[in-house]
Amino acid sequence: MATIVFPSSPANGDTFEAATGVIYLYNAANDSWTGDVPLTTVANPQASDISATPDFVSGTGASDDPFIITPVTVVLGGSVKSTQRIDVTGMTSGDLVFIQNFTTPSGVAPKFNQPIGSIGGDGAWQGFLKYNDGAGIVTATESTFTGLLQLGAVYFSWTVTQQA
């Protein structure tokens, strides 16, 4: 097991990153280091922080009025990205872009799982939503699936028709 050598004269609130990547926070009140301080946080954009190119079909981004992504059709077993490129601005550099997937039923949901991204040094992120028919239930006939996704306080709905 590796030995961690902390700084000898820390000030209250100082952080120290060990070779393992864990960040420790110093508390002068009890002369202790507490580990596992997260390196990043999750971005929490509001609808005003998000735009799309081309524009969303409709919606305000609210839970009861999600941004509508242009519907697409994909071949069985295929994958596709959204027509819209989603642009997020005004965030903190290094924050994670974590898109939650609330698609139902559970067998369909994995088809809409999204990779985790990261806010760039300019406070922005750009990306496309992704759909993968190879995940989740096996699609054997033509089917239409609608994904419901959330990024921060913003909701998206995307309909994908799985071609037979």
Q: What is the pLDDT of residues 89-138, one digit of tens each?
A: 999 998 889 999 999 998 899 999 999 889 999 999 999 999 999 998 88
Where are the domain boundaries for CATH 2.60.40 in the chain? Answer: 47-163
The answer to whether residues 139 and 133 touch, using CB atoms and an 8 Å cutoff, is: yes
CATH numeric code, 47-163: 2.60.40
Whether pLDDT at 39 is above 70: no
| Residue 95: both structure tokens together | 């924050």
